[in-house]
A and B are shown apart, each in its own frame.
Chain A
């Protein structure tokens, strides 16, 4: 099978090539899943988020410019927004059930599924950060992006990302001491 670049696949998919679209999905599905998992820490939720993002991609692909960098930025942005939405829904569900669990570990125990436990304490610590600060830390330190790219994904100025990282690190430092 001929290997196409993202640029070529997007171009083909924009023009109705179903096979190109499938390959694009298969190529990026794992990235989306991993980003979602690192954000939410729950495998099943991350799969749902990946599916949601790929469905949105199917709706939007025809409006895309064949630009690989912009495509990756879009994927990150949509994935993180979907993860935030999923989190809000989960929180709302917990509220409706009269539970005041602050960590996903408690929420996971509700489902009685061991594998749903948050896999890393640090990620759980990130959950205590305000959403935008968590996003900044996540993009810079989990995903290894530079501030410019993170700013593009978050839709804000580079200096804003720098500030959010600074503020988040300050909070993490305090919590770590506790």
Chain B
């Protein structure tokens, strides 16, 4: 395998695989079996539409069940929103996520302010929190010209940031055991280094991921 492992090399290499043809007997057997199944499915009785029950008990059950679900959801949300933000909570409500989010903001805002004051072109734009209910909060620290920049976002969220004087869009794909996976046309987080265009490289690593 070539050391460069370029796309063309890989394509060529994998394309070399010797793949046999499906022999006619096997094809015939598969087609016959599949057609048999197709025929059976055609003959299979269609499921009858569920008849509405007229019994008083059954009629009352569905609304009662729906009410019970609503109560559980409301109580559950209240319970989760009152919990210690340091605790693991799944799923989290937007309110809870916002609390955790605010905690991180307060944690880093002094450094952010100092950084912005020092270097006006560094800014971090925080987007919506729609993905918060299922994705962990991530905080990425990178260094630009030796100065720390914190990017706070949720997994699955797309964020925009001015990094090194250049406005970029980063999509945080997922969090893994190894850290945060970033996707961008121009930036790539690899081995703890954020690689960018024109030789831009910055140390980057996950400070913490939290639910």
Q: Do A and B come from one complex?
A: yes
The distance from the CB of A80 to the nearest CB of chain B, in whole angstroms, is 15
The distance from the CB of A18 to the nearest CB of chain B, in whole angstroms, is 6
Pair A122/B14 contact, Cβ less than 8 Å: yes
**Mask of B1-40 contacts with A, CB within 8 angstroms, 1/0:** 1110101001101111111111000110111011111110
Q: How far is the CA of A30 from the CA of B13 in the complex (A)?
A: 22
Using a Cβ cutoff of 8 Å, how many contacts connect chains A and B?
114
For A18, the chain B residues whose CB sits under 8 A away are: 35, 38-39, 42
For A120, the chain B residues whose CB sits under 8 A away are: 16-18
Q: How far is the CA of A169 from the CA of B13 in the complex (A)?
A: 13
Pair A173/B3 contact, Cβ less than 8 Å: yes
For B10, the chain A residues whose CB sits under 8 A away are: 137, 141, 169, 172
For B36, the chain A residues whose CB sits under 8 A away are: 58
Pair A58/B38 contact, Cβ less than 8 Å: yes
- A interface SS class: helix
Taking residues whose C-beta sits less than 8 angstroms from the other chain, chain A's interface range is 35 or more
Selected from A16, A51, A126, A157, the residue in CB contact (under 8 A) with B33 is A51
Pair B22/A33 contact, Cβ less than 8 Å: yes
Pair B173/A141 contact, Cβ less than 8 Å: no
For A61, the chain B residues whose CB sits under 8 A away are: 38
Q: Number of B residues whose C-beta is below 8 Å from A?
A: 38
Say if the beta carbon of B188 comes within 8 Å of chain A: yes
Chain B residues at the A interface, C-beta cutoff of 8 Å: 1-3, 5, 7, 10-11, 13-22, 26-27, 29-31, 33-39, 41-42, 171, 173-174, 181, 183, 188, 190
A-B contact list, 29 entries, CB within 8 Å: A18-B42, A21-B34, A22-B34, A26-B31, A29-B22, A33-B26, A34-B19, A38-B17, A47-B22, A50-B30, A51-B30, A51-B33, A51-B34, A57-B34, A58-B41, A120-B16, A120-B18, A122-B1, A122-B13, A123-B14, A125-B1, A137-B10, A141-B11, A142-B15, A142-B17, A159-B173, A163-B183, A169-B10, A176-B2
